[in-house]
Structures are given as C-alpha cells and as structure tokens.
Structure 1
Amino acid sequence: MTAPESEGPVLRRAVCPGSFDPVTNGHLDIIERASRLYDVVHVAVMINKSKKGVFTIDERLDLLRRTTAEYGNVEIESFHGLLVDFCKEREIPAIVKGLRAVSDFDYELQMAQMNHGLSGVETLFVPTNPTYSFLSSSLVKEVATWGGDVSHLVPPEVLTALTERLGRR
C-alpha cells in the first residue's frame, strides 16, 4: 500500500493497550504476533492514577522496551484518557487485544463496539496461545508475592524486577 509520492508508503499501524503490571509472556505473545501483522505496533501502557501498581509507569515502559526490543517495529508509550484519543493522535486504525476466555470476549466486545462508535477504530481479537490461557498480571503478582515460582510466566528481566520488588516471602 502506498500513498502519493510526496507522502511515502502508508504504514499499517496498530496498538496493543494494557496496564502491563507486570508484562507477562502472554502479553509478549500477543505483541509479537501483532508485530508480524503490522508495520508498527504501539504498546500503550495505561496510566490509572487511582491504582497503585507494583511497578511505576516508567519501570513498566523500561521493562517493555527491553522485552520487545527484538521485534524491531514496536514502540512503547504511556497514555491516560481514552484509548481512541491515543489512536486518533497517532493515526492508528486498529486495536489488537488478546482473548483468553469467553469471559474476556464479553467485556472486550463491549469496549470494541464503544471504541468503534466513538472513532471508527477497529478492534482485532487474537486468541491467546493455550499455554497462556490462564495467565494474568494480577495472578503473577499474587503468586510472586507469596514466593511462588513465576519464572515460566514472565521474561527473565521481569522475574528479576519482581523478585527485587516483592522479595521472597
């Protein structure tokens, strides 16, 4: 796909939004798969000032940059407010969301319909790899807090950061 000569090629862009507190292997699976489908994938870390995360926004951004560096076409950013505004500002026409279960679909479908109604942004649902179908950041934090082994659920950089932050109980 190309634009008029003065504008250069049109890049296929998408966003993978989330809190990523912490980033898990399930998140990376969806981001990596999206990076094969799009020229540029924006990973948008949501800022929710009413929630206290295990990691600061800057720490999440750093962990994501380190764990996605190998993909080459992933940009890591933070945002607050409406995701559709983030998309409009960057001319991103698609949101990529991973689905673990039917319960995810019920919620995500409502969000997709709202986002489309507000701005015309499309949402693409990617079924999670069955290996990660149970995986969530909340579950990782809970298990890690109690000293459980999450080494197979998060990248090594995240495991180190979790261990340093939460310690071994």
Structure 2
Amino acid sequence: MVKKVIYPGTFDPLTNGHLDLIMRAAKIFSEIVLAIAANPSKNPLFNLEERVKLATQATQHLSNVTVMGFSDLLVDFARRQHTNLLIRGIRISSDFESEMQLMRINCHLMPNLENIFLFSNESLSYLSSSLIKEVALHGGNVQSFLPPNIAKAVMDRLYP
C-alpha cells in the first residue's frame, strides 16, 4: 500500500456505493481521509457534524480510514493533510464529465494535485445520495442502499 489519499464529497448521506469505494480504496492506500464538505448550497439533510459522525460510525471497521469535515477549498484541505492525491468515484458517464471539470479547476489551483478515478461496482452504480433521499422522502424503504446506522438516521430525520 502507498500514500495517503483524500476521498472528498458531501456524503449526504453516505451510501453503500460510497462505502464500497472506501473499502476498495482501503486495500490500495495506506491512509484514506474521507473528507466531508460542508457544502450548504446543496441544502443537506444532515449538518456537517452529523454527516461526520454517521460516516465515522459506518467506517469504524476500517482502521486506515479517518473521517473529517471541511468547509474551505478542497485544495487547501489537501495541503493541510500533506497529500496531493484525491480519489473520485465514477458511477455513470455524466459523473466523468462533472469530475473532469472539478479536476481541472482543482489542478489549476494546485498544479501537483493528482486525481485517481475509481469506477463504482456495477451492482451499486445506480445509487446516489439525492435519489435515495427522494425515495425516503416518499416513504420508500432505503435500508438496502445505506449502511444500517445511516438508513435509521435518514428515516428518523424524515419521520420523527
């Protein structure tokens, strides 16, 4: 295994697709920082502190994964973490286009930044946090899409 890598995202909520990517990356890299972005423009279901707590619980079985929140530029967070490696998940072709756009602006801001793209497991490629929230909002069962602690938190938040 080599290097410390950052896996950034909003993770509202962290899905089984995200968790699969984290577990696969944990076999490749010596340290994974799951960097949860505040991203208030996305109107998250959970605040940053809640998302960090839920993700920490869901990844506690992975000894080389640390969950941290951040609210500044990703490149500044990467500099503070003393790494220039990011991993990004690709589910579908449109993900690639948006990730390329993010990669280009981040590389402009931090020229030595490297992006490693990992394709999602085919059986999980349809999962997205926004789609899962929509299903839950309409009373659908989301337990098979989310880690158990997060599925419970989503339902508790929407149906107190």
Residue number in structure 1 paired with 2:121: 129
Q: Decide whether the 8 Å contact of 1:21 with 1:53 is kept in 2.
A: yes
Paired with 1:162 and 1:49, the residues of 2 have a C-alpha distance of 18
Q: Relative to 1, partners in 2 of residues 1:84 and 1:26: Cα closer, same or farther, differing over 3 Å?
A: same
Q: Is 2:29 the partner of 1:38? A: yes
Divergent runs of 4+, >4 A: none
Cα offset, 1:73, TM superposition? 0.6
Alignment of 1:1-169 (within 5 A): 12-119=3-110, 120-167=112-159
Paired with 2:159 and 2:32, the residues of 1 have a C-alpha distance of 33
Paired with 1:138 and 1:110, the residues of 2 have a C-alpha distance of 20
Aligned residues: 159
Identical aligned residues as a percent: 39
Cα offset, 1:12, TM superposition? 0.8
Cα offset, 1:116, TM superposition? 2.1
Secondary structure of 2:97's counterpart equals helix
Q: Which runs of 5+ in 1 are unaligned?
A: 2-10
Cα offset, 1:14, TM superposition? 0.4
Cα offset, 1:82, TM superposition? 1.2
Cα offset, 1:151, TM superposition? 1.0
Q: Decide whether the 8 Å contact of 2:3 with 2:31 is kept in 1.
A: yes
Q: CA RMSD in A?
A: 1.5
Cα offset, 1:117, TM superposition? 2.6
Paired with 1:100 and 1:125, the residues of 2 have a C-alpha distance of 10
Paired with 1:142 and 1:60, the residues of 2 have a C-alpha distance of 18
Paired with 2:109 and 2:103, the residues of 1 have a C-alpha distance of 10
Secondary structure of 1:66's counterpart equals helix
Q: Which runs of 5+ in 2 are unaligned?
A: none
Cα offset, 1:72, TM superposition? 0.5
Q: Decide whether the 8 Å contact of 2:38 with 2:47 is kept in 1.
A: no
